A and B are shown apart, each in its own frame.
Chain A
Amino acid sequence: MNSLKAFSGPLGVVLLLAGGGFTTFAPEQRLAGFVLMAVGGVLAITAVALNLEDLANILKGRAVRYGANAAFYSLVVLLIVGAVNFLAAQHHKRFDLTAEGAHTLSPQTVKILKSLQKDVELVAFFTETNEQRRKLEDLADEYKYQTDHLKVRMVDPIKSPSEARKYQISQDGTLVVLADTGEARTTNVSEEDLTNAIIKSSRKDKKQICFTTGHGEDATADAKQGGYSLVADALRKENYDLKDVLLLQTPAVPAECSAVVVAGPTTALLPPEVDSITKYLDAGGRVFALKRDPSKETGLAPLLEKYGLKQNSDVVVDRLSRAIVGDETVPIAADYDDHPVTKELRDSRVVSIFPVASSIEKTQPTEPGITSQIIARTGADAWGETGDRIEFDPKVDHPGPAGLVAVASGKTAGAEAKDPNAPADPNAAPPAPPGKEKRLVVIGDSDFASNTYLHLSANKDLFLNSVAWLTEESDLISIRSKEKSPQPITLTASRQNLLSLMTYVSPLLVVICGVVIWQRRKKL
């Protein structure tokens, strides 16, 4: 009886805790947990009943009164601490102290995340040993900080094969983004790929970008130095469909083209082609015209004239470039206008670089209701050189600052005349619904977006922002994430020695110090 009196209490508590642990951490053993808790409970009650007299004596003591007091205060303080932490977790701020902003998301990602209206789920299939797992967790922390609409779930495909089968996962490290509009997946853990997967999953329709062919334009399938394959990949990642269009074979620009890109033709487009592009634009189309070289005409001059722009046959010479990129004929645009395409480039002070470009001038549009604007230009030191000698001649050369990127926009006719109560006429010609926005982007160079130069400074953002503005994908107009630059360390022999010195000598020095001080104190 005495041993029951002494041990039932502690044993009961241990059993209660063990039972609680089982039910919490091993749900499949829940029944065993409940049995343990029940036995523990009975033991604890028995202990109280058996020790009732002793307990009563203790409770009357001074220590208990003070102890209860202390326990109560501790509990109150604990509750306050809990509340403070709860509030701090709800309203927290993060500061990225890494030099390269490794944990700062790009403006585009932030924009996309902030624009999420509905929940998007990210299911990440990673085995425990996958090296990319931590990278994803870090990335997910930053994404979740920006939005409450992203739910992240880590799934180990080995531990949950049924889930892996449900999503047909065949590769460790697959990310599946699920939105109510669709799903997208990637196997590459990077901000660019994850953000693009979110863009893809949350957009129902794909917009089609049509590239004209037949005049030696930069080809989207060309993976060589001067090709356009990288920019084509970037467009596809942002959920566009690309299509090549041979205008000579089609009576008009296909209706499904959200935008037409004339990417640096080597020979001028023929009048019928220019005609169909003009018709397409006039009917509320979107055109992106890039000139290849100063000597190569695009044939689009009449169209540009109509929209208040003129492309000169000169070479932009920029003295500043000599110091920066080593060549005067590679102008740098650092002066941007407050236009959707360039606003964020201006805000983040990034330049775009154009290897051999012609200047663009603003003229009076011949079409009514058109506004044209130069949105990126060189500094005042640059000019448009028309001769062979690089020397500014005020008589023939075009003075700086030289325009490099221009836009024009307007509405199709009849916007004001539209009467919402008028009965719809099924026989009316559909191509030009009134009030439809027409947009044009003109750049004096096509090489800046070629595989060789796309990753220079803000070139990629400038191209993708232009397309996004043309297709009215305002969420996509931003600055995209960049890969981190590598930070190599090479250990020379002397550095290896220094390293060994640090590793083995410094602790030894400390121990010697200790022995010396100890000896001296012993003598005292």
Chain B
Amino acid sequence: MRTTFAIARRELYAYFVSPLAYVVIGFFLAVTGLFFDLFVRSYSQYTLQAGMNPYMAEQLNLHDALIRPLYSNFHVILLFIVPLVSMRLLAEEKKQGTAELLLTAPVKTSELVLGKFLGALSFLIVIMLLTVQYPLFLWISGSAPPLGSFLSAFGGACLLAGAFLSVGLFMSSLTENQIVAAVTCFVLLLVLWVIGFAGQMAGGKVETLFKAISLTENTEEFSKGVVDTKNVVFFLSFIAFNLFLTQRAVESRRWR
């Protein structure tokens, strides 16, 4: 386990010394900030209108009107940045020839894979923690921050980031070209993202199956403020399966 954390720490450090990290964080904050700004302004306008209409006042719900759409956009942004974050993880080692060094070092493949994963995941979580300023703003604005629902949405986003990342890591283990890793990861994530809609058109058993493996469907409950054990199990097993595949792919370098 010590080796795993050492690798994770090294990975996290590597992000912060490269300019890529700051570009990614800046981009992320700019986009989420812009959305938050828009949402809050329209919500405030809606509040004024609702003063005259009791039916509208009923719809004034911080979580439904602010937190939930904010996190929906957040997920889409993750879809774009995770391939950028994950592309170099294993592909770079291969390209630079350090993979041989790693494989011959006294490190188990599983430790290597887990370390890389945790390092990148902590980088993503650091980025996401920067968005805590939004609920803080709501709190300063005098509305009780919907803490529970925020935590649920945030936890959901972390699990989703982990799921995205595990796909990215797997793709990165299959190639030595970072661009190929990023593009294949993005395409795969997109497929898993929209598979629920495809299922809706098919209907029946296919719909049930596609919805069960759709990443969108599985994050929806978290964004709502509801933690369902089946969604948690889905994400954890999804991540575990991808890490297993990655470990197999790295192992395969020994006999290919």
In chain B, what residue has the closest Cβ to A483?
Answer: B58
Cross-chain contact of A514 among B26, B140, B148, B240 (Cβ < 8 A): B26
Is B144's CB within 8 Å of the partner chain A? Answer: yes
CA gap between A489 and B51 in the complex, in Å = 11
Q: A84-B237, A487-B143 known; 13 other A-B pairs, CB under 8 Å?
A: A70-B251, A81-B237, A92-B230, A94-B227, A95-B226, A97-B149, A98-B149, A99-B144, A486-B50, A486-B57, A489-B62, A489-B138, A502-B33
In chain B, what residue has the closest Cβ to A514?
Answer: B22
Q: Given the complex, which residues of B lie within 8 Å of A396, measured CB to CB?
A: none
Cross-chain contact of B141 among A95, A138, A489, A500 (Cβ < 8 A): A489
In chain B, what residue has the closest Cβ to A95?
Answer: B227
Whether the Cβ atoms of B226 and A503 lie closer than 8 Å is no
Whether the Cβ atoms of B151 and A67 lie closer than 8 Å is no
Binding stretch for chain B, among A71-79, A286-294, A304-312, A420-428: A71-79
Is B34's CB within 8 Å of the partner chain A? Answer: yes
- Known A97-B149, A503-B34, A507-B30; contact A495-B230, beta-carbon cutoff 8 A: no
Within 8 A of A (CB), among B39-82: 40-41, 43-44, 47-48, 50, 57-64
Q: Given the complex, which residues of A lie within 8 Å of B228, measured CB to CB?
A: 92-95
Q: Given the complex, which residues of B lie within 8 Å of A517, measured CB to CB?
A: 16-17, 22
Main secondary structure of the interface of A (DSSP, over half): helix
Q: Footprint of B on A, CB under 8 Å?
A: 24-25, 62-63, 66-67, 70, 73-74, 77-78, 81, 84-85, 88-89, 92-99, 102-103, 138, 141, 483-484, 486-491, 495-496, 498-500, 502-504, 506-508, 510-511, 513-515, 517-518, 521
Q: Given the complex, which residues of A lie within 8 Å of B61, measured CB to CB?
A: 102, 484, 486-487
Shortest C-beta distance, A514 to chain B (Å), equals 2
Is B83's CB within 8 Å of the partner chain A? Answer: no
Is B102's CB within 8 Å of the partner chain A? Answer: no
In chain B, what residue has the closest Cβ to A137?
Answer: B220
CA gap between A102 and B68 in the complex, in Å = 13
Q: Given the complex, which residues of A lie within 8 Å of B1, measured CB to CB?
A: none
CA gap between A141 and B234 in the complex, in Å = 18
Whether the Cβ atoms of B25 and A510 lie closer than 8 Å is yes
Whether the Cβ atoms of A490 and B226 lie closer than 8 Å is no
Binary CB contact string for chain B from 219 to 256 against chain A (1 if under 8 A, 0 otherwise): 00100111111100110011011001100100110011
Is B36's CB within 8 Å of the partner chain A? Answer: yes
Whether the Cβ atoms of B141 and A97 lie closer than 8 Å is no
Cross-chain contact of B44 among A78, A96, A491 (Cβ < 8 A): A491
Shortest C-beta distance, A483 to chain B (Å), equals 6
Is B99's CB within 8 Å of the partner chain A? Answer: no
Is B107's CB within 8 Å of the partner chain A? Answer: no
Most chain A CB within 10 A, of B43, B61, B144, B230, is at: B230
Q: Given the complex, which residues of A lie within 8 Å of B252, measured CB to CB?
A: 66-67, 70
CA gap between A85 and B64 in the complex, in Å = 29
Whether the Cβ atoms of B29 and A98 lie closer than 8 Å is no
CA gap between A502 and B34 in the complex, in Å = 9
Cross-chain contact of A488 among B17, B36, B47 (Cβ < 8 A): B47
Q: Given the complex, which residues of B lie within 8 Å of A93, measured CB to CB?
A: 228-229
Q: Given the complex, which residues of B lie within 8 Å of A94, measured CB to CB?
A: 221, 226-229
Whether the Cβ atoms of B148 and A99 lie closer than 8 Å is yes
In chain B, what residue has the closest Cβ to A73?
Answer: B248
Binary CB contact string for chain B from 75 to 95 against chain A (1 if under 8 A, 0 otherwise): 000000000000000000000
Binding stretch for chain A, among B111-119, B160-168, B198-206: B198-206
Whether the Cβ atoms of A508 and B248 lie closer than 8 Å is no
Whether the Cβ atoms of A518 and B233 lie closer than 8 Å is no
CA gap between A334 and B90 in the complex, in Å = 65
Shortest C-beta distance, A123 to chain B (Å), equals 15
CA gap between A67 and B60 in the complex, in Å = 57
5 smallest beta-carbon distances between A and B, as pairs: A514-B22, A97-B148, A88-B233, A486-B60, A98-B225
